[in-house]
Structure 1
């Protein structure tokens, strides 16, 4: 077995697992760290059709601005030179697409409701040109808290870091297993940009929420070229030039084609592929439809534990640890960083901050995706405000291009929820609170901050949605509108977000800022506890960040409270991006099928209540399936050299004594003894026959399941025939 991590720890998962002849991709996440080095998108999407001079000016301007930003953020993952080259490639790509499509000139549109003032950048056209994206990003005046280093002509094209597929033949990937929708964003790149031909498996909620997340991703970070037909542009050429591994966003057509290739599975549904590959999904307890996978080939069982949670008071189905009972190796991924606050503590802080803001008539911004623990967060906030007597004053708003779909779909997935939530379906009652709030009008959803959001706005308001990085989406607009009021607050709940980097482009913010990450993933301490509970896996692989050191023999010392190291029961090892971990599975036996032709020539012999037959043939392996077939003439000659007689039966004492007398043994001594301990410590009754033959003292010990001969080597050939007569030859 060989495991390779294709994305750094802290980014969404993507791992390549080589198991015998099978190549399995575990998750397909998209790296987004480089977003922090990109400009904030305001005023909608960049127009695609510009002349070469404008594109060159955009590229030069953006390079200078990005240099300034990167100088302030030395840890940026995208170098200045890389960004310049990539933007030039992307500009050339956009230019080449203009030959097939006519320019779409978009009319300027201004804000149309109280609470959303018109803001402009010189040369741009006011609040949200829209550009078909649904992102609803606002422009900003020179005096507003706009993005640093942006200009009227600044590029809004985003590039994304894919998993490092350079060492993998993508055409040879047999299976892709998706654990949850947070690790699926790079899948369209794999299915639509490469020669991938394998199978993809995920649960139904993962597929649907993944579709919504991809759609939102394109809305926030795509370009106007997203509306262009797939066939008109050869994006693989751009991908080939992009040596740094950064890619533009895919299109809505790519999303549909990708989703159509995914096969839905249910929890504990057994899937058999390619003869001997068996896959089973188990609940991970993290979000709706989140799954851990058990991969079985022959006698090798590998459990992939990704984004799992043992938190029992949330809405997803509970963590199912039964897959660990059958796993000899466990690959643990996407663990909670050491030192993270507990979920309950973080929830208490959020509820307290929200209540304080609502009490002073301020708005609350919570940048997050419309899925996951947002549904539990909403319930806790609503209950807390109700206890504080503030619930009647507040309006809940969900702003996202997919808000309506996500909220409606989540309430019909009761079978994927915890038992207490499933029971509510039969009352009948919506299992998640937002269904009731939407029905009563206390909560509303919007595609963007334009139009209805402005007219419906109620003071105070709690707004969920937008991209947590604050580089695009409705939160950009709302920060420009409400960021200078200290009565308002913004609360960061996503555990992966670099908050200082998210806020870096914004100047003059007086809005109250709170960092309360809600992280329900397994910590290293919880993982150790889970593994000790089941104690069936012999080898556990964890991210390098979860270890404090690696010993000389390759085992890891964990950074848990006890500093756990390898024991006789479990061996711990670590992995990191770009490093292949090779493990010897240690399988001693394999399952082999008999061909029909060979089986016809087998005639078992009865030995008591059991029948045996000697089998010899030519072994063939295809699709991980082993089969014995009749050997050729040459094969039979080779097999004959290695054929040995096998003895079966129970030793008959009288026949043995008669045989010994026949070869000249006189007065053998027979002693029957009670149970005695053997080498393994078990007790067995035995009969001992002692005699002298050819001047050498010898002994034969007869037990129920074995016969032991103790004699000189010169005497052993003489004892052969008397012993063979007591058994049948197979």
Structure 2
């Protein structure tokens, strides 16, 4: 019986690193780790901190993994590859790494930016991988010293094998891996690992929103999976009060972005300056696009868009040249031909400037006028510089200048980061009061979204979620799930048997009684439960409640012992009378079915069913056999003292089970 073991090695909610073992195959899904932490915000998981309240040490966590046994690594998006250079260059891991082309390109940018930002921060660390508090301006902030160099980043990128959405790869024999779009970012992927006809889906950071520029969420990742593993979800603290999950993702995210853009446009209309704190990719691209379009539509003077980042120029260009990874609306622009984003037009007009650092800003000759500055939330030096400079300009601005609206008296700071802890630390750091507008744009799935997408997990036997997600799912929603809902936590091993029983309640009593009443037939109230065991379905009578010493069932046949968890229990009762099993026979008689009738009924519901000769079985009477052919295998239904179904694959089980349910409901 195949099984899959999953261990989470990251104690953080937004980042994940899962070690998975599938029989003799071991692989890693994502290797994310935060590059910073904030001491003034309590960690979601207490295990993430040591007794001295320091950032958890990734080297200690990874040292317990036998990297020589790890066969391959799957990377879902650029946020989940922080530790990849360390894994490829400083461990015994020698296998391939799989990621989409945009994930590889953006991931390299993110790693290099983090390395340069921490290098500029001037932190002197006695330990190679745990940071201490930085300067007084960033008090309370701790940075993780990257345990690798620029050369390690370049070498790790060469280990990555590019994959495309919907491509099938075979990293090791007998294991197939599928990739599907997660909708979260350009190139964001979810993974399905198939082994012995059993599929396990790994749902990394995902979104159902279709109003952003990345390719949309692909729900097929869930439809064929027998086991589903969720990696993360949006923290309720990131949502407005009473708003989490209440609005559809498109409406919710569009409202947030429009609110930010309206604030920026209003400030630019008054010739005020704007500082947008956000990564130079992701939602920032949508905000930049919308602000520029609003300014042009209102016939306002275009501001000077200044982006301070060592990677901004590359990331914006990637958005233009990777059109095939964009949403359908952006892809349509490529056939005009048009660039899907506004940055090319702004550069041609001389209103878009890329500055790698503050030192380079001092040497650049940027035209006078209103400035719209974009700075990374990790770059505290740049944020502090502009806030300090603009506050000084405001204090020196005369009354005449303020009345004339020259743009030197006021400014606005916009923050859209959905990392509430980081955003709060930035607000506390810059302390500019009412000039800060914080509107978190949370793209990730909410818990309501998880309930929604699980409706598509029609073949799921098990769903595995982090403990923080399980604690936040409503109890009423959990009770509606037909599959087993499991949870995992930091350094906890969770084993899933992929062939375990799947119990499907069959509402025979209500549906059959109502149908027979409508037909005017005599009927008995029948109750039961249909259970599916791996490779076999049994529909057996159980007359143990009214059994005699001979255990003789209906038709004079002695009942076979009923396997546990694989039986249909039947009971009968008079209409409106108390149960009296000795007086009332069961009207639901499996022996009354003939192979021809069953084959005809199964054919009516769309299956290819034929009657074959089974011959005598164990010296008894001839056994009626019905053979069913479906996509992916065959099934043989043996009609003797009950129905016994042997299937050649798990996918055949589901098809036969659904057909039998339809047949029984229509009786």
Q: Is this contact kept in 1: 2:230–2:466, CA < 8 A?
A: yes
In the alignment, the residues of structure 2 paired with residue 174 and residue 421 of structure 1 have an alpha-carbon distance, to the nearest angstrom, of 37
Q: Is this contact kept in 1: 2:225–2:457, CA < 8 A?
A: no
- Is the counterpart of residue 432 in structure 1 residue 341 in structure 2? yes
- State the Cα distance separating 1:456 from its structure 2 match: 0.4
- Is the counterpart of residue 278 in structure 1 residue 176 in structure 2? yes
- Is the counterpart of residue 422 in structure 1 residue 343 in structure 2? no
- State the Cα distance separating 1:559 from its structure 2 match: 2.4
- State the Cα distance separating 1:80 from its structure 2 match: 9.2
- State the Cα distance separating 1:582 from its structure 2 match: 2.1
Cα 1:708–1:470 shift into 2, 3 Å? closer
In the alignment, the residues of structure 1 paired with residue 297 and residue 326 of structure 2 have an alpha-carbon distance, to the nearest angstrom, of 26
Q: Deviations over 1:443-501 (max 9, x none)?
A: 222212334565305432111232x14545x3232233225547212211111242222
Cα 1:273–1:565 shift into 2, 3 Å? same
Q: Deviations over 1:2-49 (max 9, x none)?
A: 212222343322111122112221111122343x35xxxxxxxxxxxx
Q: Is this contact kept in 2: 1:541–1:573, CA < 8 A?
A: yes
Cα 1:505–1:417 shift into 2, 3 Å? closer
| Matches for 1:133-172 after TM superposition, within 5 Å | 161=58, 164-172=61-69
Cα 1:346–1:76 shift into 2, 3 Å? farther
Q: Deviations over 1:309-347 (max 9, x none)?
A: 111122111111112122111111221122625212211
- State the Cα distance separating 1:684 from its structure 2 match: 3.1
In the alignment, the residues of structure 1 paired with residue 435 and residue 591 of structure 2 have an alpha-carbon distance, to the nearest angstrom, of 70
Which position in structure 1 is the counterpart of 2:424? Answer: 500
In the alignment, the residues of structure 2 paired with residue 296 and residue 77 of structure 1 have an alpha-carbon distance, to the nearest angstrom, of 32
| Matches for 1:159-558 after TM superposition, within 5 Å | 161=58, 164-222=61-119, 247-338=145-236, 340-341=239-240, 342-390=252-300, 392-452=301-361, 455-456=365-366, 458-466=368-376, 468-472=377-381, 474-483=382-391, 485=394, 487-498=410-421, 499-506=423-430, 509-510=432-433, 512-548=435-471
- State the Cα distance separating 1:427 from its structure 2 match: 0.8
1:700 to 617, 621, 641: 621
Larger Rg computed on CA atoms? 1
In the alignment, the residues of structure 1 paired with residue 73 and residue 386 of structure 2 have an alpha-carbon distance, to the nearest angstrom, of 39
Cα 1:404–1:570 shift into 2, 3 Å? same
1:579 to 468, 485, 492: 492
Q: Is this contact kept in 2: 1:28–1:184, CA < 8 A?
A: yes
In the alignment, the residues of structure 1 paired with residue 641 and residue 312 of structure 2 have an alpha-carbon distance, to the nearest angstrom, of 80
Which position in structure 2 is the counterpart of 1:551? Answer: none
Higher RCO by CA contacts (8 Å cutoff, separation 6 or greater): 1
Which position in structure 2 is the counterpart of 1:111? Answer: none
Q: Is this contact kept in 2: 1:9–1:543, CA < 8 A?
A: no
Q: Is this contact kept in 2: 1:535–1:569, CA < 8 A?
A: no
Which position in structure 2 is the counterpart of 1:21? Answer: 24
Question: SS of the counterpart of 2:335?
Answer: coil
Q: Is this contact kept in 1: 2:12–2:48, CA < 8 A?
A: no
Q: Deviations over 1:492-529 (max 9, x none)?
A: 111124222234444x6357111111111111111211
Cα 1:22–1:471 shift into 2, 3 Å? farther
In the alignment, the residues of structure 1 paired with residue 461 and residue 621 of structure 2 have an alpha-carbon distance, to the nearest angstrom, of 41
Q: Is this contact kept in 1: 2:97–2:161, CA < 8 A?
A: yes
In the alignment, the residues of structure 2 paired with residue 681 and residue 450 of structure 1 have an alpha-carbon distance, to the nearest angstrom, of 88
Question: SS of the counterpart of 2:453?
Answer: helix
| Unmatched segments (≥5 aa) in structure 1 | 38-68, 87-158, 227-234, 549-557, 589-675, 687-697, 711-730
Cα 1:163–1:217 shift into 2, 3 Å? farther
TM-score (norm 2): 0.65
In the alignment, the residues of structure 2 paired with residue 335 and residue 82 of structure 1 have an alpha-carbon distance, to the nearest angstrom, of 25
- State the Cα distance separating 1:274 from its structure 2 match: 2.1
In the alignment, the residues of structure 2 paired with residue 319 and residue 241 of structure 1 have an alpha-carbon distance, to the nearest angstrom, of 37
Q: Is this contact kept in 2: 1:70–1:76, CA < 8 A?
A: no
- Is the counterpart of residue 559 in structure 1 residue 562 in structure 2? no
- State the Cα distance separating 1:579 from its structure 2 match: 2.1
Cα root mean square deviation, aligned: 3.7
TM-score (norm 1): 0.60
Question: SS of the counterpart of 1:435?
Answer: helix
Cα 1:708–1:190 shift into 2, 3 Å? closer
In the alignment, the residues of structure 2 paired with residue 307 and residue 275 of structure 1 have an alpha-carbon distance, to the nearest angstrom, of 28
Question: SS of the counterpart of 2:455?
Answer: helix
Cα 1:270–1:358 shift into 2, 3 Å? same
Cα 1:582–1:457 shift into 2, 3 Å? farther
Which position in structure 1 is the counterpart of 2:11? Answer: 8
In the alignment, the residues of structure 2 paired with residue 568 and residue 683 of structure 1 have an alpha-carbon distance, to the nearest angstrom, of 35
Q: Deviations over 1:644-677 (max 9, x none)?
A: xxxxxxxxxxxxxxxxxxxxxxxxxxxxxxxx98
In the alignment, the residues of structure 1 paired with residue 293 and residue 129 of structure 2 have an alpha-carbon distance, to the nearest angstrom, of 49
- Is the counterpart of residue 31 in structure 1 residue 23 in structure 2? no
In the alignment, the residues of structure 1 paired with residue 428 and residue 590 of structure 2 have an alpha-carbon distance, to the nearest angstrom, of 71
Q: Is this contact kept in 2: 1:286–1:307, CA < 8 A?
A: yes
| Unmatched segments (≥5 aa) in structure 2 | 133-141, 241-251, 395-408, 502-586, 598-618, 627-637, 643-667
Q: Is this contact kept in 2: 1:362–1:459, CA < 8 A?
A: no
- State the Cα distance separating 1:361 from its structure 2 match: 2.4
- State the Cα distance separating 1:376 from its structure 2 match: 1.6
